[in-house]
Amino acid sequence: MASVARSILKKPVKISLVQLLSGTDKAANLKHAASQVAKAASGGSNIVVLPECFNSPYGTEHFPKYAEPLLPLPPVKDQAPSYYALSAMAAENNVYLIGGSIPELNPSTKKHYNTCLIFGPDGALLSIHRKTHLFDIDIPGKVTFRESEVLSPGNKVTLVDFPEYGKIAVAICYDIRFPELATIAARKGAFALIYPGAFNLVTGALHWKLLAQARAVDNQIYVGMCSPARVLDSSYPAWGHSMILDPMAAVLAEAQEDEAIIESELNEEKILETRRNIPLETQRRFDVYPDVSAGKVAYEEPDLVG
C-alpha cells in the first residue's frame, strides 16, 4: 500500500468562477474582465478564476493575432497588456487570480502557447501553466480542431502554492482528459484542480460534466471548470456551464450558457470526510500497477517563474 501526500487546505476559502462574455476587441475584453473580477471579489471571494482565452476569440486563426510576448519576465509593458491587466485585477481586489488563458508568443523561438498566468493578491506572478495537451480532434461532420497547427505544448504539471490556503493544480481545458496529470497533482497535496476551458457544443454536451466529476471522484478533491459564455454567432461557440464540484463529485455551483459568476466555499473537512468514508489512498495497489507511479514527473522541473 502506498502513502500519499495529504491534501491540505489550511482554512476555508471562497472561490469564484467568472463565465465571461468576450468578443474580438482585446482592450474591451480586458476591461470587462476587470469589472467582473471586481464583482466576484466584492462578493467575498479569495480566489477568482477566468476562462480559457478570455482576452480573445478561441481559434487557431486568432492565436497569433492576439498573442503577447511574456518572456523574459517581467514582460515589456506595452507588449503584454493582458499580463499587466491581470496583475492589476489581483492587486486592486486583493485576490488570488487564476487568469484563464491567453495566447502567448515566445519571441526567441517564435512558438505560440495557450498560457495561464496566476497572480497573488499583491499582483505578483505566482506561476505559469502552458496547455500541456493540445486540442487536436476530428469528429467528422461535428467538430475538427487542431491546436497543434499553431500552438506548442507546455511540459509540466502546475501546482501553485497559495500560502494562506494550500496548493491548487492548474491546467487548461483538454488537459482535463488526462487523468494522470490530475492524479499526480492530487498526490502532491493539491486541494483543488482548476481548469479554465472552452469545450464546444458537441464535446461539451457529452463530456464536460462527466470529466469534471471523474477528476473529482478519482482524486477526492475539489474541481472547478471555468468556460467563456456562449456566443452563438462566433466561429467557436463555447459550451458554458462553468462548474464547481466537491470531493464527492457533487455539483456545488453551475452556470448556464450566459455570462455568470458562480461561487462556493471550499473546506478541508469535506476532503477528509470523503477520504475517510471511501479510503482510496490507503487501498491503492502500486504493487499491482507500479508503472503508474514510477514515471518521471516534469513538475520537478524549474517553473518559468522564480
Ligand X SMILES: NC(=O)CC(=O)C(=O)O
Q: Give me the residues paired with residue 115 across strands.
A: 102, 130
Judge whether 104 counts as a catalytic residue: no
Q: How many Å apart are CA 230 and CA 263, to the nearest integer? A: 19
H or E segment to which residue 30 belongs = helix 26-42
| Amino acid, single-letter form, for residue 232 | L
Contact call for residue 198 and ligand X (CB under 6 A)? yes
Is 173 an annotated catalytic residue? yes
The pair phi, psi for residue 47, each rounded to 5°, is -125, 130
The reply on whether position 203 binds ligand X by CB under 6 A is yes
- The answer to whether residues 158 and 167 touch, using CB atoms and an 8 Å cutoff, is no
**What distance in Å separates the CA atoms of residue 8 and residue 266, rounded to the nearest whole number?**
12
Helix and strand counts by DSSP (H, E) for the chain: 9, 16
Q: Which of 200, 219, 220, 264 binds ligand X (CB under 6 A)?
A: 200
Q: Which three cell numbers stand for residue 134?
A: 493540445
For position 242 contacting ligand X by CB under 6 A, the verdict is no
Q: Show the binding pattern over residues 15-54: x = contacts ligand X (CB under 6 A), - = does not.
A: ----------------------------------------
Query: CB–CB of 169/175 below 8 Å?
Result: no
Choose one: 40-48, 198-206, 257-265, 276-284; the region binding ligand X (CB under 6 A).
198-206
Q: Which is nearer to ligand X, 157 or 173 (CB)?
A: 173
Of 63, 66, 174, 195, the residue at the interface with ligand X (CB under 6 A) is 174
Contact 240, 227 (CB under 8 A): yes
Please indicate whether residue 53 is annotated as part of the active site.
no
Residue of 173, 226, 254, 257 with catalytic role: 173
Residues of the chain by 3-state class (helix, strand, coil), percent to 5: 30, 25, 45
The region of 152-160, 194-202, 268-276, 277-285 touching ligand X under the rule CB under 6 A is 194-202
Binding map of ligand X across residues 128-147, x = CB under 6 A, - = no contact: -------x------------
> Which residues are 244's β-sheet partners?
224, 253
Instruction: By CB under 6 A, tell whether 173 contacts ligand X.
Output: yes
Binding characters for ligand X, 248-267, by CB under 6 A (x = yes): --------------------
Task: Please tell me which residue in 26, 131, 156, 209 is annotated as part of the active site.
Answer: 131
Q: Which is nearer to ligand X, 95 or 102 (CB)?
A: 102
Interface contacts to ligand X, rule CB under 6 A: 135, 173-174, 177, 198-200, 203, 207
Catalytic residues: 52, 131, 173
